[in-house]
Amino acid sequence: MSTETVESDTARSEDFVPRFRRIFPGSLLAAVLLSLVTLAATIGRLEPVRQLELFSTGFFELFRIQMALVLWWLLSAVAVESPAVGAAFDRLAGAVPTSQRWIVGTTAFAALGLGWVNWALGLIGGLLLGRKLCGRAAAEGVPVDYPAVLTGGLLAVVLANQGPTSPGGLLMASEDLAYLGESAGTVALGAFVAHPANLLASAVLAVTLPVVLVALAPAEGDRRTLDPQGEVRSIRERLGHYDVPPAGDFVPADRLEQSRGLTALIAVIGGASVLWSWTTGTPVAMLSVLFALVVVGMALQERPMAFVGKTADATRWVLHLAIPFLFYGGIVALLGESGLYDPIGTLLAVESATPVGPFLGALGLGLLVPDPGSVWVLLGPGLFGTGLPLVPTLAAVMFGAGLSNLWLGFLFVGLLPIPGCDWRAFVRYAGVVTVHAAVVVLGTFALV
């Protein structure tokens, strides 16, 4: 490949995130726009002073929920961004043949399957796995279409809301976080995860989406070598973030803070507590899963101070959500007191055997609200009184929110950061994936 081509490709990759930011509004701008639309819509339904009061205090009504969602993002990343997890992905990468078909298919399948378990495991692991495989292919002169690999890694978000760590499922399983109390009720997490339509649609997508990506990828892939400074040679080293200070400089407190034995003791006690709680009848819900993530994160980070350091670093995953959460609370308060949730629910509860309205509503709203849990918080109150069956409705909303996150994938690409690709190729892949996933989801819900 000529130097001119490499420089052109590099310039194109660096332009990936900025160009997408011109297409999609940032989460803060989107939250402000949603707030202004809500304020305008409630004029005449509420007194101006009451509008401002609800808008400025609504956050307090949802504070516990929104803090739980912040921790959902943060603690998942803390557990996954660890050397032990990185070493496991290195071993997986070593077993993948160096060909475009295997690289695209493996990246997509791993991202989807692991994403169903936890968003960070699928997204972070899938993206880094794909980059390492592409780097190896470039070194061996094997052409690989990087846009297809990048899309494969981002597919984690399609199923990240359907499994045992689904934000919507965890919120609805939590009596202490039920923001509409008796009118909403609770849903056991197992009932949500094991719902036939949810399970079947997830399984079909996990198998078929990698095949779709492999089929879409051009026969002659992009030979561009990734930026050497950003190339992933070892995922374990890429996720290793903590250097232990010299033992000679330790004071007694340092020995505790750097003690693997103390971490192991905490993990054993915490793990036993979680298992005892879940096996003696306590519902698996948001707060208990967050505590379990703390325990897992402590165990995988090995040292207390390594856990602390990674917690500080992982806050980057919620930087684009911290302030918008303030606006979401005000929007819920305004819509609730003004009575606008009733017509919203009527609009979404279209006459159909399939929850097409909630699915499309979440898909559209998710383009403005990048947090799937917040999509449910905003839409849920309008759906509870419609007579729609709660579990399939929740599952449909989570599918829609996941697909919208695929289109907002530039946010996650910018957070890692990862060299991008031709944005037109990404739009083509994402468009086909969205249509395929919508057909599978809505078709499955109609049949089951």
The reported pLDDT for the residue numbered 97 is 94
Which residue in 326, 381, 331 sits closest to 51, CA to CA? 331
Please tell me the pTM assigned to this model. 0.90
Query: How many H helices and E strands in the chain?
Result: 25, 0
SS3 of 419, please?
coil
Identify residue 106 by its one-letter amino acid code.
T
The reported pLDDT for the residue numbered 248 is 66
Alpha carbon of 399 to those of 143, 159, 390, 420: distances in Å? 33, 7, 14, 25
User: Under a CB-based contact definition with an 8 Å cutoff, are residues 399 and 200 in contact?
Assistant: no
The reported pLDDT for the residue numbered 11 is 42
The reported pLDDT for the residue numbered 24 is 55
Q: List the chain pLDDT tens, one digit each, 448 residues.
A: 333 333 444 444 445 555 555 555 678 888 999 999 999 999 999 999 999 999 988 888 888 888 999 999 999 999 999 999 999 999 999 999 999 999 999 999 999 999 999 999 999 999 999 989 988 888 888 888 888 998 999 999 999 999 999 999 999 998 876 655 445 568 899 999 999 999 999 999 999 999 999 999 987 665 554 554 456 778 898 888 777 777 666 777 777 777 888 889 999 999 999 999 999 988 889 999 999 999 999 999 988 888 988 998 888 888 878 889 989 999 999 999 999 999 999 899 886 778 999 999 999 999 999 999 999 999 988 888 788 888 999 999 999 999 999 998 877 777 766 655 667 788 889 999 999 999 999 999 999 8
Per residue in 167-201, pLDDT (tens digit) is 999 999 988 766 554 455 688 999 999 999 999 99
Can you tell me the distance from the alpha carbon of 125 to that of 241, in angstroms, rounded to the nearest whole number?
Answer: 16
Can you tell me the distance from the alpha carbon of 88 to that of 139, in angstroms, rounded to the nearest whole number?
Answer: 22
Domain ranges of the chain: 3-241+249-447
Count CA atoms closer than 13 A to 30's CA, side-chain side. Answer: 22
The reported pLDDT for the residue numbered 8 is 42
Can you tell me the distance from the alpha carbon of 72 to that of 79, in angstroms, rounded to the nearest whole number?
Answer: 11
Long-range contacts of 181-187 (CB under 8 A, 24+ apart): 183/384, 183/385, 184/380, 184/381, 184/384, 185/390, 186/283, 187/390, 187/391, 187/394
The reported pLDDT for the residue numbered 27 is 83
The reported pLDDT for the residue numbered 14 is 47
